[in-house]
């Protein structure tokens, strides 16, 4: 039976794409590093439809690739180029907010809800859904959870995992695991939801989630600061933590990344001249308007300036300026795509080890690839630095040739992070692109246990095969 004959009766004509032109956007990842055309794209509208699709696919032994907003950076939502014919299961029609409960500080959203819409629904109820990052206008709740996404506010409210109260999941055999409760305490056996959070669609399809909300931010102070070194940035981080306010974002940005944003970003305005090797974007907040945040920020920055840890600073004077600072950070990934090919990493180390990590990574990379441009930017308050090596100005060749030229870069950086007690995969997941790193760095016993879990839940290996496992 063709895909159309098998699945159209389940999802209806609106829920299936088989025309190659319609399928094309689902056949390539955000970085254009992975391409594979599925036999069909299915767009179920309910958990029951997802379950029936999964059952029929299992009968035919057709692999399923769940897809959210397709902003993932590791090729997880694209079928395997040389794999068996697969279907992409797009969650975009499952986009209802099922419930917002301000008294409970919770929201129940379907997996296909765009993250920004969930932020908005929370805000309409006088609450905060705190996760925030550059792709929030496209990424979906299901993708956010399946990659255990982080972003700029992880240091205060945790990554996606920490925001989940309950999940609804379609298992690889088509059963619906209904754990969509908003209860805060439940020690009745294994917390199964944690298998699917960060599972990258290899153990089932998330169809809905009950998520924690926070009190709304009533005041925020944001600064764009020049610092002479990562070590100075770390001292500033300590001061901000002790400022008496809630530190909710602390981003460290190397000079090249800010020059890239200034050059390629439409409407981006740098708050201070780019006369420093490093910059920090920092935000403190309060859930009550009377907290003297401005004084706290000024006092903290003043002390840091006196100590030589800060050489220049601009404080946002309006909400528009505050958003302008965060727009620089959020638009940077798009700007960096325009600046040329990049060998990228996604490491985390203990916060105190960030300066050591950067010193080693910079000197080793410059030794081996002196023409590469160091692009270091990240959530320093979580120890999560995206350390990249961008092709030199005027690089004429394609992305692939730069990746070949920098062969060994990723391993080098990952090894430095791991040797400092860190991780080679901080917030983007593994997908296809970091499978070799799993082989190199993941504890073999942890890998064994992961394989046993996968075999127990998905014995035919039909849920997003070829992802995560080396
Ligand atoms: C400009 C930009 C900035 C970014 N910044 C950050 C950042 O600061 N922090 C960060 O953590 N990430 C960041 N990312 C990465 C990306 O946005 C996140 O990984 C995001 O969570 C992916 O969500 P998505 O809906 O696009 O998922 P997709 O890319 O569609 O899918 C990602 C993975 O999840 C699986 N999946 C998707 N939906 C489901 C589902 N319902 N059930 C089961 N599996 C599913 C897919 O199979 C795939 O393996 C950024 C990406 C871009 C493009």
Phi first, then psi: give them for residue 388, nearest 5 degrees.
-120, 160
- Antiparallel, parallel or unpaired: β 384-390 and 342-343: antiparallel
Beta carbon of 140 within 6 Å of any ligand 1 atom: yes
> Cα(78) to centroid of ligand 1, in Å?
12
Judge if pTM exceeds 0.85: yes
Q: Which of 86, 139, 336, 434 for mutating ligand 1's site (highest number of atoms within 8 Å of CB)?
A: 139
Domain 97-215: give its CATH code. 3.30.465.10
Q: How far is CA 390 from CA 251, 257, 297, 337, 355, in A?
A: 20, 10, 34, 10, 21
Contacts of 81 (CB under 8 A, 6+ apart): 34, 35, 36
> Is the pLDDT at 247 greater than 80, yes or no?
yes
Q: pLDDT tens digit string along 180-206?
A: 999 999 999 999 999 999 999 999 999
Atom of ligand 1 nearest to the CA of 144: 21
Q: Whose CA is nearest to atom 19 of ligand 1?
A: 72
Fold of 219-338: Alpha-Beta Plaits (3.30.70)
* pLDDT recorded at residue 394: 86
C-beta 384 within 6 A of ligand 1: no
428 CB near ligand 1 (under 6 Å)? yes
Closest residue CA from atom 23 of ligand 1: 143
Supply the residue whose CA is at minimum distance from atom 49 of ligand 1: 76
CA–centroid distance, residue 426 to ligand 1 (Å): 13
Domain ranges of the chain: 3-90, 97-215, 219-338, 342-429
pLDDT tens profile 133-179: 999 999 999 999 999 999 999 999 999 999 999 999 999 999 999 99
| pLDDT band per the 50, 70, 90 thresholds, residue 399 | confident
The CATH classification number of 342-429 equals 3.30.70.2740
Report residue 382 as tokens: 């979580």
How many residues are listed for the chain in this entry?
A: 470
Closest residue by Cα to residue 134 from 451, 427, 449: 427
Ligand 1 centroid vs 137 CA: distance in angstroms?
Answer: 12
Region of residue 40 (phi > 0: left; psi between -120 and 50: alpha; otherwise: beta): beta
Mean pLDDT score across all residues of the chain = 96
Same fold, 219-338 and 342-429: yes
* Domain covering 3-90, topology: 3.30.43
**Residue keyed to tokens 């780019």:** 274
pLDDT at 397: 76
């Amino acid at each position: 039976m063709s895909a159309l004959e098998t699945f159209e009766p389940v999802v209806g004509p609106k829920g299936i794409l088989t025309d190659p032109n319609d399928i094309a956007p689902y056949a390539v990842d955000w970085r254009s590093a992975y391409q594979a055309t599925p036999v069909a794209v299915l767009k179920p509208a309910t958990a029951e439809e997802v379950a029936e699709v999964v059952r029929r696919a299992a009968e035919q032994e057709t692999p399923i690739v769940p897809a959210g907003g397709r902003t993932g950076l590791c090729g997880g939502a694209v079928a395997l180029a040389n794999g068996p014919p697969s279907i992409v299961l797009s969650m975009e029609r499952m986009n209802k907010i099922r419930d917002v409960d301000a008294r409970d500080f919770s929201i129940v959203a379907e997996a296909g809800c765009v993250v920004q819409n969930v932020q908005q629904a929370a805000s309409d109820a006088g609450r905060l859904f705190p996760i925030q990052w550059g792709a929030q206008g496209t990424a979906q709740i299901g993708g956010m959870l399946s990659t255990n996404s982080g972003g700029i506010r992880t240091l205060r409210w945790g990554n996606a995992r920490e925001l989940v109260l309950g999940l609804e999941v379609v298992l690889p055999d088509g059963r619906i695991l209904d754990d969509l409760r908003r209860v805060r305490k439940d020690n009745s056996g294994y917390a199964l939801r944690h298998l699917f959070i960060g599972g990258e669609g290899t153990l089932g399809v998330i169809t809905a989630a009950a998520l924690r909300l926070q009190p709304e931010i009533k005041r925020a102070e944001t600064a764009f600061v020049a610092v002479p070194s990562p070590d100075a940035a770390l001292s500033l981080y300590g001061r901000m933590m002790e400022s008496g306010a809630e530190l909710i974002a602390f981003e460290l940005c190397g000079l090249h990344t800010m020059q890239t944003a200034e050059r390629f970003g439409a409407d981006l305005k740098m708050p201070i001249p780019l006369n420093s090797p490093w910059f920090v974007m920092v935000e403190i907040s309060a859930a009550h308007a009377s907290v003297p945040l401005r004084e706290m920020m000024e006092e903290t920055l003043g002390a840091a300036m006196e100590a030589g840890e800060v050489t220049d600073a601009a404080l946002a004077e309006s909400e528009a300026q505050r958003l302008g600072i965060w727009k620089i950070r959020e638009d940077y990934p798009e700007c960096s795509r325009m600046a040329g090919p990049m060998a990228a990493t996604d490491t985390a180390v203990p916060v105190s080890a960030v300066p050591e990590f950067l010193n080693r990574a910079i000197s080793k990379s410059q030794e081996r690839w002196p023409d590469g441009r160091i692009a270091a930017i990240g959530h320093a308050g979580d120890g999560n630095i995206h350390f990249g090596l961008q092709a030199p100005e005027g690089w004429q060749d394609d992305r692939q040739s730069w990746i070949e030229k920098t062969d060994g870069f990723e391993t080098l950086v990952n090894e430095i992070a791991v040797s400092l007690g860190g991780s080679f995969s901080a917030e983007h997941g593994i997908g296809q692109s970091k499978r070799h790193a799993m082989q190199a760095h993941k504890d073999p016993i942890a890998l064994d246990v992961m394989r046993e879990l996968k075999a127990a839940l998905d014995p035919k290996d039909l849920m997003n095969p070829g992802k995560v496992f080396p």
